[in-house]
Structures are given as C-alpha cells and as structure tokens.
Chain A
Amino acid sequence: MSANLQRRQFISLSTVLAGLVATAGPLAPFLSEEAWAREVRSLNDAQAATLVAMMRTIAPHDGLEEEAYRLVSRAVESMIGGDEGLRALVGGGLDALGPHFASQAEPERVAALRAIQDGPFFKFVRVQTLFNLYGSPIAYAHFGYEGEAFSKGGYLTRGFDSLDWLPDVPLEDSGPNPARAGR
C-alpha cells in the first residue's frame, strides 16, 4: 500500500474514530484525532503481532483483510501513546499470552483468552477491537453495509422492501407504500 493511500485511510478512519471514541466515555481522552493521524509505535513487534492475533480471535472474519485488523492495532498503539499505565496493561497482557500466541491454533488461542476474559486487559482489547474494526470503510465494504441514505433519498426507492423469499404483508398490517403510489 502506498504511503499516500495509507495516510488517506488513516484520516478517513480517524473521522469515524473521533465519533466512536466519544462513546467510550472515560477512554475518550486517550485518543485525539491528532494522536491517531500520527503513527505511534508503543508496542514492540512481537506485542503488535500478538495483538493482531488476539483481535482476530475475538472477532474472526476469515475473508476480512489483515489490514483492517492492523489499523485497529495501530489505533490501540496511538491510544497508549505516552500513557504508562495503559502500556503496562496492554503490553503486560500481551507478553503474558506468550511469544507463540500468534502462531497457535485457534482453539488454543480461544482457550487462552477465555481464561482472562473477565480481566481488564481482555475487556480493554475487546472493546477497542469492536469499536474500531466495524467502523472502518474496509468493514463497510466487507460486510455490505450501505450506511446513511439521506443523501440518496432514503431507502424508500432503494430496496427497503425488497425481499423475495417471503410473501408480502397484507395492507391492513402495514401501510401504503408511497413509492408505489399511482402505479
């Protein structure tokens, strides 16, 4: 991926993240848009690889490109920034999973994570994974989510009622479709 494209993705993702982070309440101060746009490395390579493997175990999507997970991992690194407490939590948690976590078979990775799922490290990584992974343009494309439709006139004429594997609903239990009026 070219440096330019990478940067553009960071920036478009940062817009998504700025909104999502507002939902994180106490986590919000950890990540500003500026912090995100800079590439901050706060984990070593082994830790970063373990983090990506952990995210893939929490939210496994075989067809979803690795880059989607790497972006989330970088978001977490940016969030850690200079926060030593957070670095200890995340770095320490990743180290404790061991150097071979990323190369372990999935059932072993799941078992390792089940054992720590009630602790603060797992909770933090899970929330960050879910917050960040599905808000990215890569995820929208992958999962087929079309997003807002106001700018296109809504879904009224763009398939809100198109489903051919069940019969229509009788009028008395629904209502007239304005898009079909006069037909």
Chain B
Amino acid sequence: MATIAHDDSDAVVIIGSGAGGGTLAHELTRRGIRVVLLEAGTRQSLQSFSQNPGEAFGQLTWLDPRTTSGTHTVLQDYPTLPSWTAMTVGGTTVHWTAVALRVQASETRARTVYGAVDGASLIDWPVDYKELEHYYDLAEKRMVVTRTHGNPGLPASAHFKVMYHGARRIGYKRVHTGHLAINSQPADGRGMCIQQGFCVQGCKTGAKWSTLYTEIPKAEATGHLDLRSGCRATRIEHGADGRANAVVYRDKDGVEQRQKARIVCVACNSIETARLLLLSDSAKFPHGLANSTDQVGRNYTRHTAGFIWGAFEKPVHFWRGTTLAGIVEDEIPHNPKRGFAGGYHLELAALDLPSLPLAGFPSTLWGRDFGYMMDHYDRLAGMLINGEDMPMATNRVTLSSTVRDRFGLPVGHLHLDEHPNDAAMRAHAQRQGRAIYDAVGALRTAVSRQTPAAHNMGTARMSLRPEDGVVNGHGRAHDVPNLFVSDGSALSTAGSANPTLTIVALALRQADFIAKEMSARNL
C-alpha cells in the first residue's frame, strides 16, 4: 500500500472502488502507475459481512437520500429507494449476484438494428464489438465465470429445477445454471460456492468475485495503490487549460481534502457519477464538468425488471442455494414480432423472508392475495426479468433543489418515466414467466412491478458525437482530455445483460488505453 502526497500531481485519481474503479486501479497499478482510490464507503471483509439481511443491507448500501419526480411505478412502490446502489469498498461487486453476461453484438448497434423508437434516445456504441469480445474473454477469465473458458457450471438447486422444467416444457432451449462469476470449484486463491443463498449480503466464502478481495488486494500488493476509504469526493477541479487537476473530497473525519491529479477517473455508479460532474461546475463549465452539450445525467437507464413468483403445492426452499443460479436465454434476440424492441433474460431469484414482502411485491398487493403468497414461502419459486430499457433524454439525474447532504451539497434528483417499450416487454416477460410456472403445476402466480434498479447506466454515456453523450469510446470525456468515466454510466445503451461484466471489460480496455497514452506522454 502506497502513501501518495496530496500535492503529488502525477497520480491517477479514481473515484469509486467497484467493478469499474476497482478493476481499473488494479490494471494501472500493476503497470507501475500510482493510483489514489477514493471510496465513500467503509471497508468490510468476509468476516465482517453481516448475516442478518436488514443489517447487511445497511452495511453495504448507499443510504443518503435522493429526490425523485416522474410517473414511474417504481417511485410509488419504493419511495425511499428508487435505485439500489452500494457504498462500501468493492462497491456493487460486494452485493451483486454475480451474473456475468455479455452484451450482444446487435445490442451495441441498437439504433441501427431496432430503428427509430418513438421517444427513445437510442444510439450505437462507438466501440468495435470484435475488440470488446477480446476484453470480454479477459474479463471472464479474470472473474472465473461459470460455463466460460472451461469453468464448470454450478450444480442445479431445487429452485432451479422448477425453472428448468417449466421453461423446457414451454419450449425454451437455452436454460441452464447461468454464467456467474462464482467459483464452482476453488480458483484464484478463493474457495468454491457452498450454496449459502446469501449472495447479496456479501459472500462470506469469497467464492463470488468482488473487487474487495480480488482486484483491490492485488493492487495493494503492487505497492502503487493508496486506497482511501470513507472519503466522499465532492468536486473535480480543472486548470486554466481545461484539464482536470485535482479532486476535492471529505475524509473519514469530514475534513475537506484536495488531491492533485494527472488523470481523474469517475466510477461512482450512474447517479453519483452524474451528480459529481454536475457538482463540479466552474466558470469554464457553468453547467457542470464535461457537460457542454447538456448530456450529463441524461439517458439514465436501468433494466426493465420485475419479479415473477410461483406458489407450489410441495416445498421448494428457494432460499437454499446460490441466489441467481439459473437463466433462460431464449428471449434475448431482438424480435419485433413480440411487440417491443430489444430482448430480455429470465433469471432465477430468491429473496430472504424479511426482504420479500417489501421488495418482491407491488405496494398495491396486500390482504389475502399477498398473505397467500407469503403463506407459501417455503413452496415459492421466483425469477427476475432483466431486459433492455429504452433510454430517454428526459430520464435524468440532476441536482436536487430541495434536499442537501450532510456536507451541504444537493443530493441527486432522479426523474423517471416509463417508456411504453419497457411496459410491453415486462408484460411479455410476465406472461412467459407465469407460463413457465403453470407448466410445472403452480397453484398461483404473482408479479411485482418495476423493482429498484441495481443496474444504473447511461448518465455519462459513450457516443461518437458529443451531442449524443458525455464520453468517447474509451470513456474519455468529450470536453476534458484527462477525465474518464469508468463505470456503468458510460454504457451507450442498456442491452439485456446485467452490466458488471461489460463494466469490467471496458475498464480493462480503458486501462490499456490510459497506460498507452501515458507512456506516449499524451496524458
């Protein structure tokens, strides 16, 4: 672990230690580049992860308030939590369910393949898919993803059996235990999955890949990483030349500090990434850093999501076993005959008893219908829809005009309306999900509406043209040559895949680019 001086202007400063920031920190430090890694959260460990679901949630989650507007049902069903993001060393890779999927080639050409969709701000990715595939390979190997590169799949749980046979009976062909960054056998110095079912509380065996105990300790071992946890970035500063040159932050005692920087990489998860850029306004950038085209915070996407539950006559015990070890891939391809653009995955999903009532059902479902499902808790099966969400320029992160955080800074404000394409996709997926359960004898099924987004994307997206996004194909800001976005904010469109694998692949690619440009003295 290095100690880098505050006035050392040769350091790369990365803000956020999750999938993007943590991976980038490792990739740069292993090349001998000195990195200051700022993380707002505290550092947990396999030992300190709580096994009480509510407590674990509090331990890992970004709990500062956010304000909201818009008509989306998620705002009614989850008023205090429209988005579920992490604040801890390792970021969302601590609470993720480790679903490691590739964005499809056609999804990276969404505007071309889907055509114009009314009200949607689709673009094509300014990234060559062949090149992306190379980095996907590297990411899958590094994260030890099941069913890739010779890694075995996870064994089928009782819960997956229900999904599997239901899906096969209605004709689906691509149904398996998933591509998960979870060790099905010991690998990378970490143990194998013991089917605890407590994936989102922090994996106490470390079988699940997280930057907390993979990339970050490896970066620390290089001697070039200065990790500062409990440090909240509040502003990125720039010089007269328009280049970023420092990051202002509050340290763990709340004292303001200023770290000079040669390069700044922002990886705070979409809402906070956009908020930090908007907070960094100046005479040169009066509407926020890298926001000359008014794109920062726009095109906020999640995935079209929602739970489908089946109640059965006999026990399933769906909490026993890896939370999301099951997938149906048949609905991924774009097929306009279904009545919507883009595609979706159906993913196995279980919730612990205290979380299911509030997280799993819409606020309008209460009384006997709700009680019936809960009474079948040990006989439930569940799945989660994960589908492409249409970007809309008006679905947007701005600064709240009413609520400030403990440092006196406006919190993020989220405006969210639902695009009709998302509603049509969800309805289709709910029908298919119910059919899966009906095919294996469900007594009754129930669905949620949109669930809080754990996948937050697009608010600083990659675009060919500055008027369509914030950064270029390497995640470099169109406006600021030494400012990079290194998290899901940069994804040009949402695709149907859980975003982490893509974030890691892009971080690996970005590290190559930054290192090359640094040695050429271009950065």
A residues within 8 Å of B by Cβ? 15-28, 57-61, 106, 110, 113, 117, 123, 126-127, 130-131, 133-135, 139-140, 143-151, 153-156, 158-163, 165-169, 172-178
> Given A59-B371, A166-B165, do A144 and B377 touch, yes or no (CB 8 Å)?
yes
CB pair A173 B320 closer than 8 Å: no
B366: contacting residue among A22, A126, A146, CB under 8 A: A126
**New contact pairs (13) apart from A134-B356, A149-B195, CB-CB < 8 Å:** A19-B58, A23-B54, A25-B65, A60-B367, A144-B378, A148-B52, A148-B198, A150-B204, A160-B158, A160-B317, A166-B162, A175-B146, A175-B153
> Given A148-B198, A158-B320, A163-B315, do A20 and B155 touch, yes or no (CB 8 Å)?
no
CB pair B52 A130 closer than 8 Å: no
> In this assembly, does B417 line the interface, its C-beta being within 8 Å of a C-beta of chain A?
no
> Given A19-B57, A155-B197, A175-B155, do A143 and B377 touch, yes or no (CB 8 Å)?
yes
Complex contacts, A165 vs chain B, CB 8 Å: 314
CB pair B320 A159 closer than 8 Å: yes
CB pair A23 B156 closer than 8 Å: no
What's the tally of chain B residues with a CB closer than 8 Å to chain A?
A: 68
Instruction: Report the Cα distance A144→B378, complex, angstroms.
Output: 7
A59: contacting residue among B54, B185, B374, CB under 8 A: B374
CB distance from B159 to the nearest CB of A (A): 8
> In this assembly, does B12 line the interface, its C-beta being within 8 Å of a C-beta of chain A?
no
By DSSP majority rule, is chain B's interface helix, strand, loop, or mixed?
A: loop
CB pair B154 A175 closer than 8 Å: yes
CB pair A149 B370 closer than 8 Å: no
CB pair A131 B358 closer than 8 Å: yes
> In this assembly, does B375 line the interface, its C-beta being within 8 Å of a C-beta of chain A?
yes
Instruction: Report the Cα distance A61→B366, complex, angstroms.
Output: 12
CB pair B321 A155 closer than 8 Å: yes
Complex contacts, B153 vs chain A, CB 8 Å: 173-175
Output the nearest chain B residue to A23 by Cβ-Cβ distance.
Answer: B57
Most buried by A among B153, B185, B316: B153
CB pair A173 B164 closer than 8 Å: yes
A61: contacting residue among B176, B185, B314, B374, CB under 8 A: B374
A155: contacting residue among B52, B195, B314, CB under 8 A: B195
CB distance from A160 to the nearest CB of B (A): 4
> Given A23-B58, A154-B194, A160-B320, do A175 and B152 touch, yes or no (CB 8 Å)?
yes
Complex contacts, B223 vs chain A, CB 8 Å: none
> Given A126-B366, A160-B157, A176-B155, do A154 and B196 touch, yes or no (CB 8 Å)?
yes
